[in-house]
Structure 1
Amino acid sequence: MCAVKTTIPDNVSEEYYQIAPDILASFPKYRPPIDLYRFKESIASLEPFSRKGQRLTADQVDKAHELCKEGVLFVSRSDHPVYSKHIVKQLDLVLVDKNLKESEIADVFMKALQLRLEEFFDQPVQVVFDKLYTDIMVLTEYLNVDWFRIKALLKRLFREHTLVNHSVNSGVVGIWLYLKARKGHFQRKELDRAALAFFLHDMGMAKIPSFIRTKAVPLTTEERQKVNTHSMHGAKLAHKLGLSFNEIMACIMEHHERFDGSGYPRKVKEAEISKLGKLCAVVDSFCAMITERPYADAMAPLDAAKALAQDKRYDERFATVLKTAYVTGEF
């Protein structure tokens, strides 16, 4: 955050926010994509410094950075969509911009993770994964400071079903349920691994033809068999990316296993499913149930959580925690 050397009136802080030096430096040098304002202490208000798209001179560029360091360069909150679209592609900037509201940061995280997962599922290779990994680590760094921040993301779950949206939702719900079950007690490394596991538990679906994933009518036996191989595809991809740690393997291999042995791929029963696998099964099904799919209407989150809590094929403890959160309006 810029060091503030002047007293900024509350009405200014509500409609505008100071731009941090790192954010300003990340914009195109001579053509910032947003309007910039400078605070004039003599009149206790803002005046335009430059307009979006306007080409700045070298002197104006230097002056902008000087004003920024003094804490008197501002951005209008009306420009937040442009501002956030920029940060989405450089997500680590949310950690240095202390002027963003928690709700604004949550919007940025959801859009950024959606973008990175879309890129990764389209091209699941190391160089693309590295960008996704970096953004997930930015999220865990953000939550490491205060894990209750995840609630703002939970208010923004996607309601249209796509592989990307499902993965984002699962990551967010999974992290919350994981931390809630642990009552906020965790080691950073544990959170990092769990977060990767929840966001990537379904990455094997990227290997299933899209026409099967998006089919609006019941799948044929052959198509269902192909879908049921996605866990194995996911495990192979995880190994290829150097992600063969226990947490991600549990989520990939066990999120479709059920207590009565009716699941897949190994058809194991309750005692053979790991705790994290049981949690991920609840998360995966819940996130599917609350979205609008070609073959099923979206359920209200509370109704989905209630249904899972009553279904003996799932871990009642995790489903009940989720149900209670919606009953009490925790989000």
Structure 2
Amino acid sequence: MDDKNATGAVPGDINEEYYQISAEIMASFPRYRPPVDLFVFREDIAVLAPYSRKGTRLSNEQVEEVAELCARGNIFVSRSDHHIYSRHIVRQLDLVLQDHNLKEAEIANICIHALYLRYAEFYEQPVKAVFDPLYRDVMVVTEYLAEDPRRINAFMRRLFRRYEPAKHAVNTLAVGLWLWLQNAGDFQRKNLDRMALALFVHDIGMGKMPAFLLTKKGPLKPEEREKILQHPLLSVKIMQKMEVVFDDLLQICFEHHERLDGSGYPQRIRGGQIPATAALAAVADSFAAMVTERCYAPAKDPKEAARELATDQRYNVSVARTLLAAYANDAFSAPHDMDAFVEQKD
């Protein structure tokens, strides 16, 4: 926000506790009952003053006044209400691209929360009507990252530590895109879009597995393992029904469990037979799982998980070492508790 000059200038330190709400986001709120406290900048005394409390019904005159004040940049929201604000716009993710008053960390929280919700819905109901909003939100995230690829670091600081299918999808997206961007150079936006979508939906076929197999603590029986081995093909079939099929997606969905020594599945291909995208996804998928608490294994420290992968000859060691080097240099220090963030109540 640019400081206003002359009498009534908005002090720059206001952004530490408040942020200016854009007209687009204000218009997305319920007109008569905004879900957050609103503050108005009083130009005559150059301070913020309370305007209305969250949930209070505004009069017709106030609705018009708020719209006018907002258009002038004089309506603010307290950052203490950010969790409410973010939960509102999480369903209209494109709004984060229009609100230039959000901090990078706040945008990462909102994007991750939106992706988590979209994937959970698609996992339960893998149909086109549910896929389309998921696809739109992934494209919002890639547009945001394309403007500055370094923003992916904020996503890496927000890996989930408790396993759920949707959390695993978000983790794999963040880790896989971070790895991809390290060597992408001057990438084309189309390639970023495709890589992001493929990493995000790579495991969607798991939604077709019997639920008890995904929560079983003991070893799987041979017939149970055979069912699990089918999920890569099921992921491909689901995406074919969505009419979204391209090489990176097919490779990542179908081959992210292949291993360089031929011990993977479903084809047991090895070495150079495994596409580079699938080899990268294998590292991202395994790392994303290892750092979460699962029913049959505790969560590993991210640096230790990266170290294990970097010394495991079944994986692309070069890719895994890139990840280990980042953790060794504390590139993702001060991690955020995203499990608590998505579970908190208003």
Q: Which has the higher contact order (CA 8 A, sep 6+)?
A: 2
Deviations 1:101-141 (CA, angstroms, capped at 9, x unpaired): 11111111111111000000010000000010010000000
The 3-state SS of whatever aligns with 1:160 is coil
In structure 2, what is the Cα distance between the partners aligned to 1:58 and 1:226?
A: 59
| Pairing partner for 2:149 from 147, 150, 173 | 147
Tell me the equivalent position of 2:138. 136
Amino acid aligned to 1:96: Q
Tell me the equivalent position of 1:308. 309
In structure 1, what is the Cα distance between the partners aligned to 2:32 and 2:114?
A: 25
The 3-state SS of whatever aligns with 1:38 is strand
Distance 1:230 1:2, change over 3 A: farther
Tell whether the 8 Å contact from 1:193 to 1:247 is kept in structure 2 after alignment.
yes
In structure 1, what is the Cα distance between the partners aligned to 2:53 and 2:163?
A: 39
1:116 aligns with 2:118: yes
Q: CA deviation at 1:161?
A: 1.0
Tell whether the 8 Å contact from 1:4 to 1:72 is kept in structure 2 after alignment.
no
Amino acid aligned to 2:241: K
Q: CA deviation at 1:312?
A: 0.7
Q: CA deviation at 1:181?
A: 2.3
Distance 1:20 1:4, change over 3 A: farther
Tell me the equivalent position of 1:227. 228
Tell me the equivalent position of 1:100. 102
Tell me the equivalent position of 2:294. 293
Unaligned runs of 5+ in 2: 333-346
**What is the root-mean-square deviation of aligned Cα atoms in Å?**
1.3
Q: CA deviation at 1:2?
A: 9.5
The runs of 4+ residues in structure 1 deviating greater than 4 Å are 1-6
Tell me the equivalent position of 1:11. 13
TM-score, normalising length: structure 2: 0.93
1:198 aligns with 2:217: no
Tell whether the 8 Å contact from 1:217 to 1:294 is kept in structure 2 after alignment.
no
Tell me the equivalent position of 1:60. 62
Deviations 1:11-64 (CA, angstroms, capped at 9, x unpaired): 322111110000000000111011111101221111111111111111111100
Count, aligned residues: 330
Unaligned runs of 5+ in 1: none
In structure 2, what is the Cα distance between the partners aligned to 1:261 and 1:57?
A: 69
The aligned runs of 1:1-331 (5 Å cut-off) are 7-183=9-185, 185-331=186-332
Amino acid aligned to 2:135: Y
The 3-state SS of whatever aligns with 1:32 is coil
Q: CA deviation at 1:179?
A: 0.6
Tell me the equivalent position of 2:337. none
Q: CA deviation at 1:10?
A: 2.6
Tell whether the 8 Å contact from 1:4 to 1:70 is kept in structure 2 after alignment.
no
Amino acid aligned to 2:153: K
Tell whether the 8 Å contact from 2:3 to 2:12 is kept in structure 1 after alignment.
no
Amino acid aligned to 1:101: K
In structure 2, what is the Cα distance between the partners aligned to 1:28 and 1:210?
A: 38
Amino acid aligned to 1:200: V
